[in-house]
Chain A
């Protein structure tokens, strides 16, 4: 069984390698102008060069930094606000409809407003990223709190637990699957908004770097940057799902 999984994996990697080979062939035959499409060899060389004697590390750290700060602030604020709103029925019926109205708003539309308030600065980027990333977590936390098994609340009442104790001992653990999936979703949002803010405000990061490469028609650098952004997206999602499995291990054990 395990062996066949391994074989399939290998075959799947072979198919992917085949596509890269195809890409190389198209580039070698110059079916598409090399100005637009560098071969994988050139993109790889540019990636290696950027990491050995270029400043690609700095750009990578810049983008990861924007993403992480914004996401972190959004996580704390989103879960705290969500807990506050979700744990009270009154708050829920007054606030939740407004939030539902704001949910489908394309969050990037807040960028001009943020620029008008804060200028083309680092704090503008952090505000935008945090604002965009907060929604999935906020709504997931509210939903998770609202969906707590009512009998658990009855138990907490008969045990005379304080409201804080109820939040930390009952509601948060019970809502944690919702919250974690919200956090995973907002990770993607944070990455996209980081790139957009870097492009707009010229902040140090991969978004700015790929735009500059495009403007000067350095397509190999451009593809290297895009590949790197894909790697960030993949690795952060992977890390999040590992954390999620870890934190939710208690759930599959009990029943």
Chain B
């Protein structure tokens, strides 16, 4: 019986070996493919000259800045909408009208208003991050055990204390889940904006490698972007399990 861990690795390893052998056998000359050994060498080279680290920083800074701004806005609105049903019902049409706008459609607007650079990317990432956090934190606050709210009324907590001492702790596991989903979205949107137009970060670096007809570097960046995405997701899952344990076992809404 083969252990599960080995089974999981078998497919990618076999694919890499096959690609390497095939590339060597036909002396691959291509603008889009490269043998895995060349990709690995390109990745090491990009680390040695530091270019990949700078690009990673230029992607992660706007991604996290946008995530914090969009997350704060989404959380504030989500909690307010979850507490005050009147507010929720009044804002319904407005929110449902803005929400379906694909974040990337804002790119030209951000471009003429802010130009290239961090700022336009942050705005677009923030817009994309507002919605999952707003929707999930609204649901989280709406789903709080009603007796907790009764207790807070009986204790005559001020609205600020009620949010701080009852609502946020009770809804925190689900808010963290929303935050984790939004972090994934932030990275995706940041890379997409860079690929589409913004000349900084990993997205721009991979486009440059493609245009320079260096498939091994392009694939190295692709691999690295995958690793960054995987590490971000895994790190947040671990943090979620560590911080909230069983309380975090709410079903992924994705």
Contact = CB atoms under 8 A, between A and B. Distances in A.
Contacts of A115: 210
Among A110, A112, A219, the most chain B Cβ lie within 10 Å of the Cβ of: A112
Given A214-B108, A214-B111, A108 B102 contact: no
A51 interface: no
Interface in B220-236: 221-222, 225-226, 229-230, 232-233
B241 interface: no
A191 B91 CA distance: 25
Interface string A109-125: 11111011100000000
A75 to B, nearest CB: 17
A109 B11 contact: no
A199 B100 contact: no
Interface string A82-124: 0000000000011101100111111111111101110000000
A150 interface: no
B210 to A, nearest CB: 4
Contacts of B10: 94
B230 A12 contact: no
B226 A200 contact: no
Contacts of A227: 101
B83 interface: no
A247 interface: no
Contacts of A207: 104-105
Interface string A29-60: 00000011000000000000000000000000
Given A13-B93, A233-B100, A136 B226 contact: no
B250 to A, nearest CB: 16
Interface stretch (B66-74, B154-162, B189-197): B189-197
A85 B90 CA distance: 46
Contact of B96 (A97, A103, A234): A234
Given A101-B230, A188-B102, A112 B218 contact: yes
Contacts of A111: 195, 207
A213 B105 CA distance: 12
Given A102-B226, A116-B31, A108 B191 contact: yes
Contacts of B105: 195, 206-207, 210, 225-226, 229-230
A99 to B, nearest CB: 10
B184 interface: yes
B219 A192 contact: no
A233 B191 contact: no
Nearest to B232: A104
Among A104, A115, A117, the most chain B Cβ lie within 10 Å of the Cβ of: A104
A219 B112 contact: yes
A105 B213 CA distance: 23
A248 interface: no
B19 interface: no
Interface in B79-112: 89-94, 96-98, 100-109, 111-112
A217 B113 CA distance: 10
Among A101, A223, A227, A231, the most chain B Cβ lie within 10 Å of the Cβ of: A101
A16 B187 CA distance: 31
B20 to A, nearest CB: 17
B169 interface: no
A97 B2 CA distance: 15
B93 A98 contact: no
Given A109-B225, A214-B108, A237 B100 contact: yes
Given A16-B93, A105-B226, A106-B229, A112 B207 contact: yes
Interface of B: 4, 7-12, 31-32, 89-94, 96-98, 100-109, 111-113, 184, 187-188, 191-192, 195-197, 202-203, 206-207, 209-210, 213, 215, 218-219, 221-222, 225-226, 229-230, 232-233, 254
Interface of A: 8-9, 11-13, 15-16, 19, 35-36, 93-95, 97-98, 101-113, 115-117, 136, 185, 188, 191-192, 195-196, 199-200, 206-207, 210-211, 213-214, 217, 219, 222-223, 225-227, 229-234, 237
29 contacts: A12-B93, A15-B91, A36-B113, A94-B8, A94-B10, A97-B7, A98-B12, A101-B12, A101-B230, A104-B187, A104-B229, A106-B229, A108-B195, A109-B191, A109-B195, A109-B225, A112-B195, A112-B209, A115-B210, A117-B32, A185-B254, A195-B105, A196-B104, A229-B102, A230-B100, A230-B102, A233-B100, A233-B101, A234-B97
